[in-house]
Amino acid sequence: MTEAQITCSKCGGRMETGYIPSTHFAYREAAQWNRGVPETSWLYGLKRPQDQTIPVRVFRCEACGFLETYAKPEFGPS
Protein backbone atom coordinates (compact mmCIF):
# COMPACT_ATOMS: atom_id res chain seq x y z
CA MET A 1 0.00 0.00 0.00
CA THR A 2 1.62 3.23 -1.14
CA GLU A 3 0.54 6.86 -1.25
CA ALA A 4 0.05 6.62 -5.03
CA GLN A 5 -2.54 3.87 -4.52
CA ILE A 6 -4.71 5.73 -2.02
CA THR A 7 -7.20 8.49 -2.71
CA CYS A 8 -9.47 10.04 -0.11
CA SER A 9 -12.75 8.18 0.29
CA LYS A 10 -14.48 11.46 1.22
CA CYS A 11 -13.32 13.91 -1.49
CA GLY A 12 -11.02 11.97 -3.87
CA GLY A 13 -7.96 14.01 -2.86
CA ARG A 14 -4.37 12.76 -2.62
CA MET A 15 -3.45 10.93 0.61
CA GLU A 16 -0.05 11.36 2.28
CA THR A 17 1.58 8.84 4.63
CA GLY A 18 2.08 9.58 8.32
CA TYR A 19 1.88 8.09 11.79
CA ILE A 20 0.52 8.92 15.22
CA PRO A 21 3.21 8.75 17.92
CA SER A 22 2.52 6.82 21.09
CA THR A 23 4.46 7.91 24.19
CA HIS A 24 5.80 5.34 26.66
CA PHE A 25 7.68 6.89 29.56
CA ALA A 26 10.83 8.43 28.03
CA TYR A 27 10.47 7.27 24.42
CA ARG A 28 8.03 7.41 21.52
CA GLU A 29 7.01 4.84 18.94
CA ALA A 30 4.43 4.64 16.17
CA ALA A 31 0.96 3.57 17.30
CA GLN A 32 0.04 -0.10 17.11
CA TRP A 33 -3.24 -1.95 16.82
CA ASN A 34 -3.81 -4.43 19.64
CA ARG A 35 -6.20 -7.39 19.56
CA GLY A 36 -8.91 -7.55 22.23
CA VAL A 37 -9.89 -5.08 24.92
CA PRO A 38 -7.39 -3.06 27.00
CA GLU A 39 -6.23 -4.58 30.27
CA THR A 40 -4.64 -2.50 33.01
CA SER A 41 -1.02 -3.15 33.94
CA TRP A 42 0.28 -2.02 37.32
CA LEU A 43 3.59 -0.72 35.98
CA TYR A 44 2.94 0.16 32.32
CA GLY A 45 -0.63 1.50 32.21
CA LEU A 46 -1.91 -1.10 29.74
CA LYS A 47 -0.78 -4.65 29.05
CA ARG A 48 0.66 -4.95 25.53
CA PRO A 49 1.23 -8.54 24.41
CA GLN A 50 3.79 -8.16 21.60
CA ASP A 51 2.52 -11.20 19.72
CA GLN A 52 -0.88 -9.51 19.33
CA THR A 53 0.17 -6.08 18.01
CA ILE A 54 0.21 -4.84 14.41
CA PRO A 55 1.90 -1.57 13.31
CA VAL A 56 -0.47 1.20 12.20
CA ARG A 57 0.01 3.65 9.34
CA VAL A 58 -2.17 6.71 8.92
CA PHE A 59 -2.98 8.45 5.64
CA ARG A 60 -4.11 12.09 5.62
CA CYS A 61 -5.98 13.76 2.78
CA GLU A 62 -4.10 16.86 1.62
CA ALA A 63 -7.38 18.46 0.48
CA CYS A 64 -9.88 17.90 3.31
CA GLY A 65 -7.73 16.54 6.18
CA PHE A 66 -9.60 13.23 6.51
CA LEU A 67 -7.53 10.52 8.26
CA GLU A 68 -7.62 6.85 7.24
CA THR A 69 -5.84 4.27 9.40
CA TYR A 70 -4.57 0.83 8.34
CA ALA A 71 -2.94 -1.91 10.44
CA LYS A 72 -0.58 -4.23 8.51
CA PRO A 73 2.51 -6.17 9.66
CA GLU A 74 4.64 -4.68 6.85
CA PHE A 75 4.12 -1.18 8.31
CA GLY A 76 6.72 -1.90 11.01
CA PRO A 77 9.77 0.39 11.41
CA SER A 78 12.14 0.48 8.47
- pLDDT tens column, 16-73: 999 888 776 666 777 888 888 888 887 767 777 777 788 899 999 999 999 999 999 8
More confident residue, 4 or 39: 39
- Residues contacting 49, CB < 8 A, separation 6+: 34
pLDDT at residue 9 is higher than 90? yes
Half-sphere exposure of 23 (CA within 13 A, CB side): 2
Cβ atoms of 68 and 58 within 8 Å: the answer is yes
